[in-house]
Structure 1
Amino acid sequence: MTVPAGAALALANAIAVVIPSYKVTRHILGVIEGIGPEATRIYVVDDKCPDGSGAFVREHCRDPRVVVLEHAENQGVGGAVMTGYRAAIADGAKVIVKIDGDGQMDGSLLPNFVAPILAGEADYTKGNRFFNLERIGAMPPMRLFGNAILSLMAKLSSGYWDLFDPTNGYTAIHADAARFLPFDKISKRYFFESDMLFRLNILGAVVVDVPMDAVYGDEVSNLKISKIVTEFFSKHVRNFGKRLFYNYYLRNMSVASIELPLGIFLTCFGAGYGISHWIASARSGISTPAGTVMLAALPVIMGVQLILAFLAHDVASVPRRPLHKKTLYRSSNSGSK
């Protein structure tokens, strides 16, 4: 009997799919049907869905690959994905793909997300709906604007300057990289995808964008931009601070570790000095001396240059060597001793 190419790939590499399920009963069966034979196991995680999606899948789905997991309490998309990750790792999966259950993600693209990981080029892949400029028009304007702003904040907080579309939920991860994730600390709600990037950067994992087109139908998004703007901003600032401390002071020290604080100090000092003298000059009606202007301008110029130098170093420091290769190397060395 001839084994289909997709099935052979699955047998060799154990690809699992995790589908968080919450209010997606209308689409979940279609999502499962769209997943090809390259996947060996499909975990549907019922996140205390009010529609009983877990029971619905058990009753109507006949795919033998499907395993339904249920939460006693709603944990959010992040919590559901972590439950799926744990189950997939325990069952021996090599690559774990996460697909939303609302029908916006094309299951036939799964091989595109898995290929860079199996080729040893990445630890984590994620979708990018902005790659094809001809198809961006299909995205609702509010989502387009919101994703552009969120992408800029995510670049700063995660350190992955070469990525875009950080809230994209179509992802895949190597199991050896997933094992190092602090499952209990990762954000469980809508900040999950952005927090994953921050955690992966701290681990030194290689992340790659995969071009894709979003599908917008009659699904209703549970994400309200107006409610998450301030939450996302504060969490991005927190993660940015943590990343700087971990990567530039706790685990490593370089010239960039000095450039940023010195640049901020000089910029603030020059701006404060200049503003105070400008106010005093305006009140007294006496022109500010040229020397005073230079004393204010020079620290600002130097400070901005130092901050730009730090950013250039940070952009160049994006992880390039896959984490799962490092762990494999360490495991083989420890086994040979």
Structure 2
Amino acid sequence: MNNEILVGKSTQRTAQKQNPCVQGTSPQNVTVILPAFNEEVSIGSVVLLTRYYADSVIVVDDGSSDRTAEIARKAGAEVIVHEVNKGKGAALKTGFAAADDLGADIIVTMDSDGQHNPAEIPKLIEPIIKGEADMVNGSRYLNGLDKNTPAYRRVGQTILDEVTNLNSGLHITDSQSGFRAFSASTKDIFRFKAQGMAIESEMLADAGKSGLRIAEVEIGVRYDVDCSTEHPIKHGFGVLLMILKDIEFNKPLYYLTVPGAALGIGGIIMGALFLREFVIGKNLYFGPTILMVLFIIVGSFMALTGILLHSISAILRDSRIN
């Protein structure tokens, strides 16, 4: 693995042992992972605040060209550096492995730009401590979408939530939240393959497939510190495309059989209408007739392919269980 540990553990652990807030929160080891890319402006304050609510703070500097790693180290974080930018999924994978090495019982993920409030960590991890959940999702929209959010963002968020829930089999109100808590026992179920912010939806799909108990708690978010360089519409389409690809492999009945059946049925209805017109003496037009045939052929192919892939997936799942 092409990473470099930049800071030792003794200084931070000594500081945390003297921190009554962390001890009062839970007897378990709470480790926070902060994926970071060019976050020198915010990373120092985020680490300092987070250390008050955690036993360890891991910053994964994902190929930054600024002083993110240096400032995080001086603030007392465990710092791991990716020499090149690998994406948030790879950064989280590195962070989860490091948290396991530190003996974490609970792993918390947060954004490093200051959007999330570290003071909400105790609330986030509470369902895990009580044994009520394996994973907790911090939700900005537990009580509905904020009406002050621009309309295109509300529409985009709703679409991503619905498609993510379809793929994962869950009912999550904020599928794109980066503020989450995990029991350390869940660390091996995640693929960490998605690029960019699509990792949030991928982790929910993995959690749903593995049958994790998932809870949601309401969190606040500061949007005045949002420094994302990617346009929200471009980001939304990228995440949606990833989810649809995931559905194609994990739920082919939804992705192929359902739309294929709709096309095939549409073609059959068109054929029935054309046949009725032909019987009463009207002419059949070449264009619509070819379209009808295409609908039936393509729809039937998609439906049968989806059924075949679903059967193969079921056989593979059974073989893994046995």
User: Same fold, TM exceeding 0.5?
Assistant: yes
Task: Place the TM-score, normalised by the shorter chain, in its bin.
Answer: 0.7 to 0.9
- Supply the distance in 2 between the matched residues of 1:73 and 1:263 (Cα, whole angstroms): 42
- Supply the distance in 2 between the matched residues of 1:72 and 1:79 (Cα, whole angstroms): 12
Matched residue, 2:20: 4
Deviation readout 1:164-185 (Å, 9 max, x if unpaired) = 22111111111101133334xx
Matched residue, 1:167: 176
1:73 aligns with 2:84: yes
Contact 1:202 1:243 in 2 (8 A): no
1:113 aligns with 2:135: no
Contact 1:46 1:71 in 2 (8 A): yes
SS across alignment from 1:85: helix
- Supply the distance in 2 between the matched residues of 1:36 and 1:57 (Cα, whole angstroms): 11
AA of the residue aligned to 1:67: E
- Supply the distance in 2 between the matched residues of 1:265 and 1:140 (Cα, whole angstroms): 35
Structure 2 stretches lacking a partner, 5+ long: 1-16, 283-322
**Deviation (angstroms), 1:271:** 2.6
Contact 1:198 1:243 in 2 (8 A): no
Call closer, same or farther: CA 1:142–1:271 in 2, change over 3 Å: closer
Alignment of 1:163-202 (within 5 A): 163-183=172-192, 186-202=193-209
1:236 aligns with 2:247: no
**Deviation (angstroms), 1:22:** 1.0
Matched residue, 1:275: 270
- Supply the distance in 1 between the matched residues of 2:148 and 2:235 (Cα, whole angstroms): 23
Of residues 36-45 and 149-158 in structure 1, the stretch that sits farther from structure 2 once superposed is 36-45
**Deviation (angstroms), 1:2:** 9.7
Matched residue, 1:122: 133
- Quick one: which of 37, 40, 59 aligns to 1:44? 59
**Deviation (angstroms), 1:226:** 3.3
Call closer, same or farther: CA 1:19–1:224 in 2, change over 3 Å: same
> Share of identical aligned residues, percent?
24
**Deviation (angstroms), 1:263:** 7.1
Matched residue, 2:100: 89
Matched residue, 2:221: 214
- Supply the distance in 2 between the matched residues of 1:32 and 1:226 (Cα, whole angstroms): 30
Call closer, same or farther: CA 1:92–1:273 in 2, change over 3 Å: same
- Supply the distance in 1 between the matched residues of 2:261 and 2:249 (Cα, whole angstroms): 22
SS across alignment from 1:232: helix
Matched residue, 1:145: 155
Contact 1:46 1:52 in 2 (8 A): no
Deviation readout 1:87-116 (Å, 9 max, x if unpaired) = 001111001001101111111110111111
Call closer, same or farther: CA 1:192–1:38 in 2, change over 3 Å: same
**Deviation (angstroms), 1:281:** 4.3
**Deviation (angstroms), 1:144:** 2.3
**Deviation (angstroms), 1:270:** 3.5
The higher-RCO structure (CA 8 Å, 6+ apart) is: 1
Matched residue, 1:136: 146
SS across alignment from 2:241: helix
Deviation readout 1:97-150 (Å, 9 max, x if unpaired) = 0110111111111011111111111111112111244x8145344332221111
Of residues 205-214 and 80-89 in structure 1, the stretch that sits farther from structure 2 once superposed is 205-214
- Supply the distance in 2 between the matched residues of 1:221 and 1:105 (Cα, whole angstroms): 14
**Deviation (angstroms), 1:262:** 8.4
- Supply the distance in 1 between the matched residues of 2:257 and 2:42 (Cα, whole angstroms): 53
SS across alignment from 2:251: helix
**Deviation (angstroms), 1:72:** 1.1
1:103 aligns with 2:98: no
SS across alignment from 2:95: helix
State the Cα RMSD in Å. Answer: 3.0
AA of the residue aligned to 1:278: L
**Deviation (angstroms), 1:220:** 1.7
Deviation readout 1:268-320 (Å, 9 max, x if unpaired) = 54332112222454577669xxxxxxxxxxxxxxxxxxxxxxxxxxxxxxxxx
TM-score normalized by the length of structure 1: 0.70
SS across alignment from 1:191: helix
- Supply the distance in 1 between the matched residues of 2:246 and 2:258 (Cα, whole angstroms): 20
**Deviation (angstroms), 1:32:** 1.9
- Quick one: which of 164, 167, 170 aligns to 1:154? 164
Contact 2:69 2:81 in 1 (8 A): yes
- Supply the distance in 1 between the matched residues of 2:125 and 2:146 (Cα, whole angstroms): 24
Of residues 121-130 and 91-100 in structure 1, the stretch that sits farther from structure 2 once superposed is 121-130
1:34 aligns with 2:43: no
Alignment of 1:320-331 (within 5 A): none
Call closer, same or farther: CA 1:178–1:275 in 2, change over 3 Å: same
Contact 1:158 1:243 in 2 (8 A): no
